[in-house]
């Protein structure tokens, strides 16, 4: 439950790797892939085997306050952690999947020490030099990936709150760039700003005068 602080534990994936002698395991996840505005952000983190951090789980299952507290705890205890962002212009130029992979590669490249093995949220993964495994639903199933999801989500949420100051009227601090009713109406009234992903369907629909003002989903 979102309000609980249950004891987190490594999954079978991490236990198996430790048994095989793998020492530095990095979890990788992204935030903002489905948003209409702002960057896509990847988090990467290498956590110590012990002590484990209570409450680490899929960032979507946590409250904003819980995520903020866990961000600081994860960053403080991590052997290494990094965040990388790819902005809307690049997303429009090379597509969202390629941008997500680029952010992941950049985040992993910043880790010092470099990881021995990568656990990545998703069905597929970019080409890494390290051995790696993609895990569908990994942010809810893997301790390291869950920690990375918290880093990526909190960093991006903070960034979107700053964008709200630069581009007032869109509500970025509240919806974080996702397709809510508020965001749709702001787009209809103000038009897109430089932080909007111009090749995403809703932004293209706006340019063609076909934006649907029905509620969106986050």
Token readout for 101 is 């992979």
Query: Of the ranges 64-68, 160-164, 189-193, which one carries the lowest mean pLDDT score?
Result: 189-193
- Per the CB < 8 A criterion, the answer to whether 29 and 176 are in contact is no
**Mean pLDDT, residues 142-166 taken together:** 97
At the second CATH level, the architecture of 12-162 is 2-Layer Sandwich (3.30)
- Distances from the Cα of 142 to the Cα of 92, 131, 166, 187, angstroms: 31, 17, 36, 37
Average pLDDT over residues 86-108: 97
* Mean pLDDT value across the chain: 91
Res 52 pLDDT > 60: yes
Taking residues 115-135, report their average pLDDT: 96
23-45 pLDDT, tens digit per residue, is 999 999 999 999 999 999 999 99
| pTM (2 d.p.) | 0.90
Choose between 49 and 148: higher pLDDT: 148
Domain ranges of the chain: 12-162, 165-207
Strands (E) across 47-101 are located at 80-86
For residue 120, give the 3-state DSSP assignment.
Answer: strand
Q: What is the mean pLDDT of residues 74-81?
A: 98
How far is the CA of 174 from the CAs of 33, 61, 163, 179, in angstroms?
17, 18, 11, 11
Q: Which two tokens stand for residue 106?
A: 């950049």
State yes or no: pLDDT of 214 exceeds 70: no
Mean pLDDT score, 159-170: 98
Share of the chain above pLDDT 90, in %: 81
How many other CB atoms sit within 10 Å of the CB of residue 60? 13
Predicted confidence (pLDDT) at residue 206 exceeds the cutoff of 90: no
């Amino acid at each position: 439950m979102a309000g609980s602080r249950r004891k987190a534990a490594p999954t079978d994936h991490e236990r198996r790797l430790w048994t095989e002698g793998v020492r530095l395991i990095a979890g990788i996840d992204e935030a903002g892939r489905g948003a209409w505005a702002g960057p896509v952000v990847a988090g990467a983190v290498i956590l110590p085997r012990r002590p484990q951090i209570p409450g680490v789980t899929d960032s979507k299952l946590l409250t904003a306050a819980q995520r903020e507290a866990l961000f600081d705890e994860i960053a403080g205890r991590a052997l290494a952690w990094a965040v990388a962002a790819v902005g809307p212009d690049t997303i429009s130029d090379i597509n969202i999947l390629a941008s997500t992979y680029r952010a992941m590669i950049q985040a992993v490249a910043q880790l010092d020490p470099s990881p021995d093995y990568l656990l990545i949220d998703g069905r597929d993964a970019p080409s890494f030099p390290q051995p790696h495994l993609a895990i569908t639903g990994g942010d809810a199933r893997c301790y390291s990936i869950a920690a990375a999801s918290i880093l990526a989500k909190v960093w991006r949420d903070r960034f979107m709150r700053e964008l709200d100051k630069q581009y007032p009227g869109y509500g970025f601090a509240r919806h974080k760039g996702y397709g809510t009713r508020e965001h749709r109406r702001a787009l209809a009234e103000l038009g897109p700003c430089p932080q909007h992903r111009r090749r995403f369907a809703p932004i293209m629909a706006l340019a063609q005068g076909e934006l649907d003002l029905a509620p969106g989903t986050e």
